[in-house]
């Protein structure tokens, strides 16, 4: 069995806006007499849009109507309609995620999202998506090594570290090509708060309206490169690094030495290639690329040639955000799709209590989470045990079912996610206990953590699997 779904990726960044369409191919990898096992076997980009300057009403507001016009035009050029897309992501990234009307922009794009497109904007998730789109993750996996990707855009640098393909560290700093905007004769049109802090450390007095020179700007760019070197352990970290760390990003910590380094984002082209026109884009992007190229990063680590640079995030968003559930699952189709459901994950000790039948503890845990998250629904997640007995499943179903039923609103579904292959038996057992009076979604083969949000799409492959997007941070 082979099937493909069309995925759309829309990236609205600090500097640029892009759209891509990908075809995600799935196949039943099990034998004829085996339980179906659906896997994603290929992901192909089938259309790449032009790269547009992100339209703004002013320094603070994204022009939602113009963004919508760009997306509508690219759908037409690609020959697709919103109804053709089954999954994907709308990503507002970098400084654009801080613009006052980001939520309004997402609303204006909602009718292009199909039935299952996730709208996200968080530095951690952006780091991971860009690292996948650039090829850093696949390099790390194929070479069994630690590789880092730096996605350097207009406003931020998103950093992710992969160890044998697994994410082991991620973070973000306010360093990018449009931190300072300049006229052709080096008059300052814009300087960000982070760039001002860097200037202050260097003893440079620079503000909007001032005229500067190449040597001064390059000195600032070299300090930005030095901060990135600190972040990756080349030098001891300074106080300035902490001050310009992007709000909402994770604490970045390395546990193993880095072997290889990869760059994506608009500035990456200025690292991999030389540009004779230093103010080509009206900002410091070219000079920042030169400063990084001349610094320690390229000398201390093996340089990976990125598969995508400026398109890494949008390719990652369209091709790598979606995973699929296991094939032995149980669900009520009428409640799908579901978006932005918060995750409560039980640790190993809490999971053991659930398997022992401790309904009261699980109930208190769920009630606490619902109060803290101010949510009407949740995804209850845990690892699970391999090959549990029929009796084990019965006890677990009773403890989870009673706890969820007592806390959730009357019309809210029970949503359970496990890593081990027990979802179908668990969901069906809960259904029997409650005579199917409440909708139940029980899926496996998905790994989530506390603080994640989950989107669940409509079933695919003749109902065998559910597409899932796990979001570490979401806008709004």
**Cα–Cα separations (whole angstroms), residue 348 to 355, 360, 382, 384:** 11, 17, 8, 9
Residue identified by tokens 């989870």 is: 400
Distance CA 434, CA 287 (A): 65
Q: Is the pLDDT of residue 23 over 90?
A: no
CATH superfamily name and code, 2-120: ATPase, nucleotide binding domain (3.30.420.40)
Of 449, 295, 339, whose CA–CA distance to 106 is shortest?
339
What pTM value is reported for the model? 0.70
Q: Is the pLDDT of residue 31 over 50?
A: no
Distance CA 336, CA 306 (A): 37
pLDDT recorded at residue 32: 45
Distance CA 37, CA 29 (A): 5
pLDDT recorded at residue 98: 62
pLDDT recorded at residue 122: 67
Distance CA 124, CA 169 (A): 9
pLDDT band at 228 (very low <50, low <70, confident <90, very high): very high
Of 198, 461, 209, 192, whose CA–CA distance to 324 is shortest?
461
Higher pLDDT, 304 or 463: 304
pLDDT band at 35 (very low <50, low <70, confident <90, very high): very low
Helix H or strand E encompassing 158: strand 157-163
List beta partners, residue 147.
Answer: 162, 260
Distance CA 288, CA 224 (A): 8
Of 219, 215, 214, 195, whose CA–CA distance to 206 is shortest?
195
Give the best-scoring range by mean pLDDT among 24-33, 409-418, 449-458. 409-418
Domain ranges within the chain, ordered by starting residue: 2-120, 125-309, 323-468
Q: Is the pLDDT of residue 333 over 50?
A: yes
Rounded to whole angstroms, the maximal C-alpha distance in the chain is 77
pLDDT-above-90 percentage for the chain = 39
CB 288 within 8 A of CB 177: yes
Distance CA 475, CA 91 (A): 9
Average confidence (pLDDT) over 386-412: 90
Q: Is the pLDDT of residue 337 over 60?
A: yes
Average confidence (pLDDT) over 200-225: 97
CB 313 within 8 A of CB 425: no
The pLDDT tens digits for 290-325 are 999 999 999 999 999 998 877 766 665 554 455 555
Task: Out of 31-40, 70-79, 252-261, 265-274, pick the least confident.
Answer: 31-40
**Cα–Cα separations (whole angstroms), residue 148 to 84, 248, 354, 399:** 35, 20, 39, 43
Class of domain 125-309: alpha beta
The pLDDT tens digits for 92-139 are 766 666 666 677 787 788 777 655 555 655 677 778 888 988 999 999
Question: Mutual orientation of helices 193-202 and 214-231 as an angle, nearest 10°?
Answer: 100
Distance CA 474, CA 92 (A): 10
Task: Walk across the sheet containing 146-152 and list its strands.
Answer: 166-173, 157-163, 146-152, 260-264, 302-303
């Amino acid at each position: 069995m082979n099937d493909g779904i069309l995925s759309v990726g829309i990236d609205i960044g600090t500097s640029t806006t892009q759209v891509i369409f990908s075809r995600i191919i799935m196949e039943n990898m099990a034998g004829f007499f085996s339980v179906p096992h659906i896997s994603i076997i290929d992901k192909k980009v089938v259309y790449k849009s032009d790269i547009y300057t992100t339209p703004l009403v002013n320094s603070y507001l994204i022009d939602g109507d113009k963004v919508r016009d760009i997306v509508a035009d690219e759908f037409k050029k690609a020959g697709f309609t919103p109804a053709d897309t089954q999954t994907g992501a709308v990503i507002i990234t970098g400084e654009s995620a801080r613009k006052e009307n980001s939520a309004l922009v997402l609303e204006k794009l909602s009718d292009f999202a199909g039935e299952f497109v996730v709208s996200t904007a968080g530095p951690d998730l952006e780091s991971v998506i860009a690292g996948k789109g650039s090829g850093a993750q696949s390099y790390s996996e194929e070479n069994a090594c630690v590789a880092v990707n730096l996605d350097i855009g207009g406003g931020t640098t998103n950093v992710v570290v992969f160890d044998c393909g697994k994410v082991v560290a991620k973070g973000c700093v306010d360093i990018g090509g449009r931190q300072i905007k300049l006229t052709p004769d080096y008059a300052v049109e814009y300087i960000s708060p982070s760039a001002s802090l860097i200037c202050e450390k260097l003893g440079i007095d620079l503000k909007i309206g001032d005229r500067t020179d190449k040597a001064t700007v390059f000195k600032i760019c070299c300090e930005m490169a030095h901060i990135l070197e600190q972040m990756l352990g080349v030098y001891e970290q300074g106080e300035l690094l902490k001050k310009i760390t992007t709000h909402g990003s994770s604490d970045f910590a390395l546990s193993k030495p880095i072997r290889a380094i990869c760059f994506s984002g608009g500035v990456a082209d200025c690292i991999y290639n030389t540009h004779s026109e230093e103010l080509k884009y009206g900002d410091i992007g070219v000079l920042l690329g030169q400063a990084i190229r001349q610094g320690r990063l390229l000398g201390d680590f093996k340089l990976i040639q990125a598969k995508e640079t400026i398109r890494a995030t949008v390719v990652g968003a369209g091709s790598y955000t979606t995973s699929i559930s296991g094939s032995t699952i149980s669900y009520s189709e009428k409640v799908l799709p579901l978006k932005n459901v918060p995750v409560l994950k039980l640790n190993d000790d809490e999971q053991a209590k659930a398997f022992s039948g401790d309904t009261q503890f699980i109930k208190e845990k769920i009630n606490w989470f619902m109060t803290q998250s101010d949510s009407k629904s949740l995804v209850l997640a845990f690892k699970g045990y391999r090959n549990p007995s029929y009796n084990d499943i019965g006890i677990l179903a009773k403890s989870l079912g009673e706890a969820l039923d007592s806390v959730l609103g009357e019309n809210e579904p029970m949503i359970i996610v496990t890593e081990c292959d027990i979802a179908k038996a668990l969901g069906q057992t809960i259904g029997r206990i409650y005579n199917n009076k409440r909708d139940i979604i029980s899926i496996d083969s998905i790994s989530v953590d506390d603080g994640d949000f989950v989107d669940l799409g409509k079933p695919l492959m003749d109902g065998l699997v559910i597409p899932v997007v796990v979001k570490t941070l979401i806008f709004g």
